[in-house]
Every structure is written in structure tokens, then in C-alpha cells.
Amino acid sequence: MSVSTYKIPIGPIHPSLAEPMTFNFEISGERIQSVDLAPGDNHRGIEFMGRNRNVVQIIYLAERICGICSASHPFAFCRAVENAAGIEVPPRAEYIRVIISELERIHSHILWAGIAAEELGFNSVLYLSWKVREEVLDLLEMLTGNRINYGMFMIGGVRRDILAEQVPKIRETLQYYKDAYQTLEDVFLKDPSIALRTKNVGIMTYEDALHLASVGPTARASGVKKDVRQDQPYSAYADMDIKAITPDIYSGEVNGDVYDRIIVRILEVFQSVQIIEYCINNLPEGEILSEPKIVKLLGTLKKAKGEGVGRHEAPRGEVIHYIKLNESENPEVWKARAPTYNNLMSWLPMLQMQEIADIPIVIASIDPCIGCMDRVTLVDPGSNKKQVLTREELVKLSIEKTRRMVR
Amino acid sequence: MKLDKYLDRSLWVFHLNTGSCNGCDIEIVALLTPRYDVERFGIKLVGSPKHADVLLVTGPVNRKMLPRLKLIYEQTPDPKAVIVVGTCGSSGGVFYDSYNIVGPVDKHIPVDVYVPGCPIRPEAIINGVLKAWLKLERLRGSSGVEIEKKIEEVNA
Ligand code: SF4
């Protein structure tokens, strides 16, 4: 009897995320033989639009590459422009930038933890972690005026200052997260059923992580000590001693499985708390913008000529923006490379020979951000829809597996 | 609030992302979690348009998602209401001049409620769903006078 494989296309609506993305799985029995990705469902042509706008307008476009990374993209973009035009950022602004980015990391990682728990069927854990997350959103709203898409960044600084009367609230929130660490650790790292579902699932080896150029927590969970904040300190990070977090800090070993990715992200939340604390304690006095008059700033940028690169460690990994200014209103080239673009290929080794019921958690484990990634159109291999598994069916499979294992 | 008396069924919502920045989408998920908790009104996010009364559409509609948008609209059983969440779905927003954007949403499917904002606040989405509920009541045959009476009772 010959064993034949069959194909399951999943998506583009709701594979395991709120964003569209198409997967084609080749299945033999319960095991995945191979995976093919067909991205492009979220392509908006952002870099193209950027070429018709001036540099300050692009900041808001960069912010809307992805709502979750809405501090990381403008951060990298502003750094690229400052690099190209030779603009100095005042120290106080650098510290405020770092505070906002680290607050974003806290919200993003906790958001991810909740989603991952939901994929496993622990809805109560989703609610718990998103309840914890609301505190940092409140703080962000107080500091920037918005829960998402903060509008904080400006070429040469930030748009809003952190006032003395806001500092107690920041400290209060940091204390809240220090207290929440125990809860998160108990729920995610000490819970036997989460460990059962995530240990030895979706493994990516150290070598694969290097070959596929994975970035961020996905690479760090496989033992690659890679973090832009450590490797090429910039902004206020240069004043601190930041070390890349790998899972062996917590468990003493590196397996590169989904469990290790949870460890890295939970620990990074508390690394961020420490960074913000340092920034608050050492916030320098002074200006927050190198050129407060936007018209004058645009005039300078219009005369600028040159190329610039900006790198930043976003919650999902390294984000790079490249810009070329050529003495005109609009930039000549603008290119953004988001971390998910690198991490996408990590799915291939991770999903190999896994069970269908593990698809949701493995896909979620790299914390994909399709909005970030889909600025590049890739080839769409004619999706032959034979049988489409909806997210509901997939998550149901995943939940059933959890129940089986817990029993 | 005696909301459930008039909802002969609870409102079930299907969320469709047509190429948004994700900002509005995470606020939709935030709606389900303890701070806002719309499930106490019976509003539930479902995994298939065939189970939904309300379609929550985010994003400016790009070329690749357009056929899916139409398909999902057709798959949602009548009576239904369509809510566009976010500025980019209502008008194009920051993405208005791209080659790959064929939106806004109301160019392709009929829209009942617009929730503007970039991103919207979760409270605004709840308000939008309430407006959609009124529309569904009307479709189910309640007359204008009846609905007004019901609103008064709810507000009382
Ligand atoms: S309205 Fe704004 S925040 Fe919402 S999805 Fe569109 S671009 Fe993102």
C-alpha cells in the first residue's frame, strides 16, 4: 500500500492570527510533510506611497506599517533620516524614545503570551494576560495620548515631553509589572499542561536559526545571542549594559522549542521594566527636539543629500530602515525590513513533521506580524482550494490535543 | 441595562482584516478581554462568517483581499450588518494613494456603520455594534416607533 500525501491550504483569513496569510500544508496522516507560504494578502505598497510624501509625513505612514510595532518603525525610520541628514538628537529625547519603545515591548510580549495561550485552549490565561497588558496601555495613553499608534516620534527628537507629575504613575506601573512577574511565571512557565504542549514542539536548532537569519526572540530562543541593543548600542541603550536573553538563563538549557520562546519573552518583559526604571532615574534635562519648527526642519531636509540606515530592536527582532535623500521634497528611496520577514522562513524547520493540531501554536510562536512583512509582493503559487481548514477548526484541534494530554 | 430582552439572539461578530495595520484588530481583541468584556452582552467573535450577524471589517481593502471580502459578505446570512472599523476602511486613511488599495470598503459592499479613528478606541467599537443592533432590529421587522420605545426603555 502506498502512502500518499494530501494538501491542506489554510487561510488567508484567520490561520492563527488576526491578519491574512496563506499556508499550503502537505500532510501525510497526522504529520506535516512540507509547508509552503503564500504571503501578500496584506500588501499595501507602503514604500511606494512614501515616495510621494515628505519625510515628516512618512513618520505617520511608518507608524501604520504595523499597529503593534508602532514605536519601532518610526524609531528606525527617524534614525535613518537623522543618519542621512546628520541631525543630532538631544539626550532627553533619546531617553524618552527608549522609554516608549520598551513600554511597547512590554505590551507586545504580553499580547503575544495571551494569544499563544488561546491557541492552546487556555482562554482564561488569555484574559489574565490581557488584563495585565491594559496597565501598560493606560500608561502609554497618558504619555502619548493614544493606546496604539503613539505619534511620539519626530525627526530629531520626540513630540511630547515626560512631565515630572507623570513620573509617579510610571513608577507605579513598573511596580505593578514587577509584582505581576510571579503570576506570569506561575501561569506560563510552571504550569504542567502548557509545558506538555510546548516542550519539544516546533524546534528550531541553533544552526537553522543562523542559516535562516532569524532575529529577535525567535533566534534567541534557539540560543543565538543576537540583540541590536547589545551588539550595536544606540540611543540611550548605549548608556546601559544590555545582554541578549537566552532561555538557559532560566532553565539552564537551550532546546529551541516553543517553551523556550515563551521563556525568552517573559524574561524580556522584566528586562524592559529595568531599562525603563534606569531611564526614569537618569532622565537628562534639556530640549526634546533638535528643531522645534517643522517648516524649518522640512527646509533642511529638502536640502539634504545622502543615504541613511536606522536599526532598532523591535519586540519581534531587528527592524532596519534605509532612506536615500536627494535634495528634493520626497525621499528617493525608502526601504523597511521588518523582523517577521526574516522569521517567516523559521516556520519551515519548525513545522516539519509536527502534528496538525500543533500548527496554531507553532505559527504563533514566532509572533508573526504580517502587516510588517507584507510590503513585498512575493509570487503567489495558484492556491488550489481543496479543503480549507478554518481557524476555528484548527484551534479546536489544538484544544482537543491539550485536553487529551492533560487527562 | 435590559439589552438582552430585545436581542432574540445575541449578536455574533465575524472579524475580517482586509490589509489593515493591525492597530484596529488588536483593539477588537481587547474588546473581548476583561477591561471591556463585550461577551457580557452576548457579543461574541466567531470563526466563520456563516455563524455571524455582524461583519466587522478593518483595513483599506487591497487587491488580493477584494475577492475574499466579497465572498465573505455573501457567505454571511441575512439579516446582517456591516461595520467598518477604523479610518483606513472608511476612507482609505493614510493609505489613500497606493497602487494596491482598491478600497474603501463601501465601494464594494454596502456598509451600515462607520467607526472612524486611527486607531479607534474599544468603546467606539461597542457603540458601533449597538448601532448595528438597531439596524438588525429594523430589518427583523420592528417599526421605527417600536425601536424608539425600546431605546427609551434601554436608556431608562
Ligand atoms: S484605521 Fe489606522 S489604526 Fe486602524 S487599521 Fe487602519 S491604519 Fe491601522
CB contact at 8 A, A217 and A268: yes
Round to whole Å and give the CA distance between A9 and A174. 44
Q: What is the pLDDT of residue A309?
A: 92
Residue with cell string 519586540: A315
| Alpha helices, H only, A232-288 | 248-251, 258-281
Q: What is the pLDDT of residue B154?
A: 62
Average pLDDT of A136-163? 89
Q: Is the CB of B88 under 6 A from ligand 1?
A: yes
CB contact at 8 A, A144 and A150: yes
**CATH code at A46-341:** 1.10.645.10
Structural domains counted in chain B: 1
Q: What is chain A's mean pLDDT, rounded?
A: 82
Instruction: State CA B120 to chain mean position distance.
Output: 12
The share of chain A scoring above pLDDT 90, in percent, equals 12
Angle at which helix A91-120 crosses helix A391-406, to 10 degrees, equals 70
Atom of ligand 1 nearest to the CA of A64: 7
Q: What is the pLDDT of residue A184?
A: 87
Sign (positive or negative) of CA dihedral A335, A340, A342, A344:
negative
Indicate the length of chain A as a whole number. Answer: 407
Residue of B nearest to A394 (CA): B47
* Interface A:B, Cβ pairs < 8 A: 128
Selection from A38-47, A248-257, A378-387 with the highest mean pLDDT: A248-257
Task: Give the domain ranges of chain A.
Answer: 6-42+345-406, 46-341
Q: Which of B60, B65, B119 sits opposite A67 (nearest CB)?
A: B119
Round to whole Å and give the CA distance between B11 and B7. 8
Cell of A320: 532596519
B89 touches chain A (CB under 8 A): no
Expressed in angstroms and rounded, the spacing between residue B58 Cα and the centre of ligand 1 is 8
Could you tell me the maximum CA-CA distance found in chain B, to the nearest angstrom?
50
| Domain region containing B52 | 2-155
Q: Which of A367-371, B9-13, B115-119, B120-124 has the lowest mean pLDDT?
A: A367-371
Q: What is the pLDDT of residue A16?
A: 43
Q: How far is CA A192 from CA A185, A333, B49, in A?
A: 12, 51, 35
Cell of B15: 472579524
| Chain B residues within an 8 Å CB radius of A42 | 17, 19-20, 59, 62, 65
Higher pLDDT, A98 or A357: A98
Sign (positive or negative) of CA dihedral A21, A25, A29, A31:
negative
A243 touches chain B (CB under 8 A): no
Distance from CA of A64 to the nearest CA of B (A): 5
Instruction: Decide if A18 and B35 are in contact by the 8 Å CB cutoff.
Output: no
**pTM recorded for the entire structure:** 0.86
Average pLDDT of B49-57? 86
* Side chain identity, residue A219: A
Cell of A52: 510621494
Q: Is the CB of A64 under 6 A from ligand 1?
A: yes
Nearest 5°: the CA angle A182, A343, A32 is 95
Selection from A93-107, B7-21, B28-42 with the highest mean pLDDT: A93-107
Residue A4: which pLDDT band, with cuts at 50, 70 and 90? low
Closest by CA to A96, choosing from A177, A148, A156, is: A156
Q: Is the pLDDT of residue B124 over 60?
A: yes
Q: Is the pLDDT of residue A326 over 70?
A: yes
Q: What is the pLDDT of residue B1?
A: 33
- Closest residue CA from atom 6 of ligand 1: B88
| Chain B residues within an 8 Å CB radius of A49 | 94-95, 97-98
Touching B: A residues 335-374, CB under 8 Å: 369-371, 374
Q: What is the pLDDT of residue A377?
A: 34
- Closest residue CA from atom 1 of ligand 1: B86
Q: What is the pLDDT of residue A370?
A: 61
A256 touches chain B (CB under 8 A): no
Residue A378: which pLDDT band, with cuts at 50, 70 and 90? very low
Residue with cell string 452576548: B42
3-state SS assignment for residue A307: strand
- Closest residue CA from atom 3 of ligand 1: B119
Cell of A65: 506599517
3-state SS assignment for residue A391: helix
Round to whole Å and give the CA distance between B115 and A259. 39
Q: Is the CB of B62 under 6 A from ligand 1?
A: no
Q: Where are the beta strands (DSSP E) in A51-163?
A: 153-154, 157-158
CB contact at 8 A, B118 and B87: yes
3-state SS assignment for residue A300: helix
Expressed in angstroms and rounded, the spacing between residue A18 Cα and the centre of ligand 1 is 14
Q: What is the 3-class SS of chain B, one letter each residue?
A: CCHHHCCCCCCEEEEEECCCCCHHHHHHHHHHCCCCCHHHHCCEECCCHHHCCEEEEECCCECCCHHHHHHHHHHCCCCCEEEEECHHHHHCHHHCCCCCECCCHHHCCCCCEEECCCCCCHHHHHHHHHHHHHHHHHHCCCCHHHHHHHHHHHHC
Residue A376: which pLDDT band, with cuts at 50, 70 and 90? very low
Q: How far is CA A49 from CA A152, A299, A331, in A?
A: 21, 21, 11
Q: Is the CB of B21 under 6 A from ligand 1?
A: yes
Round to whole Å and give the CA distance between A94 and A156. 9
Expressed in angstroms and rounded, the spacing between residue A319 Cα and the centre of ligand 1 is 21
pLDDT digits 0-9 by tens, B57-110: 988 888 888 888 888 888 888 778 899 998 988 888 888 888 888 878 888 898
pLDDT digits 0-9 by tens, A75-86: 999 999 999 888
Residue B27: which pLDDT band, with cuts at 50, 70 and 90? confident
Q: What is the pLDDT of residue A185?
A: 87
Q: How far is CA A97 from CA A59, A101, A143, A155, A259, in A?
A: 14, 6, 12, 12, 31
Q: What is the pLDDT of residue A25?
A: 73
Q: Strand A317-326: give its sheet, edge to edge.
A: A305-314, A317-326, A333-337
Nearest 5°: the CA angle A270, A76, A341 is 85
Query: Which class for A161: exposed (0-12), middle (13-18), buried (19 or more C-beta within 10 A)?
Result: middle
Average pLDDT of A40-54? 82
Average pLDDT of A5-32? 64
Selection from A202-206, A388-392, B1-5, B110-114 with the highest mean pLDDT: B110-114
Q: Which of A13, A18, A43 sits opposite B22 (nearest CB)?
A: A18
Topology annotation, domain A6-42+345-406:
Enolase-like; domain 1 (3.30.390)
CB contact at 8 A, A41 and A392: no
Average pLDDT of A274-281? 91
Q: Is the CB of B86 under 6 A from ligand 1?
A: yes
Average pLDDT of A12-34? 65
Round to whole Å and give the CA distance between B73 and B39. 23
Q: What is the pLDDT of residue A201?
A: 84
Strands B113-115, A157-158: parallel, antiparallel or unpaired by DSSP? unpaired
Query: Which class for A116: exposed (0-12), middle (13-18), buried (19 or more C-beta within 10 A)?
Result: buried
Residue A171: which pLDDT band, with cuts at 50, 70 and 90? very high
Q: Which of A129-138, A338-347, B52-61 has the lowest mean pLDDT?
A: A338-347
Q: Is the pLDDT of residue A301 over 50?
A: yes
Q: What is chain B's mean pLDDT, rounded?
A: 81
Residue with cell string 537553522: A208
Higher pLDDT, A344 or A155: A155
Q: What is the pLDDT of residue A123?
A: 83
CB contact at 8 A, A111 and A346: no
Q: What is the pLDDT of residue B47?
A: 77
Distance from CA of B138 to the nearest CA of A (A): 30
CB contact at 8 A, B45 and B17: no
CATH of the domain at B107: 3.40.50.12280
Q: What is the pLDDT of residue A175?
A: 92
Which secondary-structure segment (H or E) carries A334?
Answer: strand A333-337
Average pLDDT of A198-204? 85
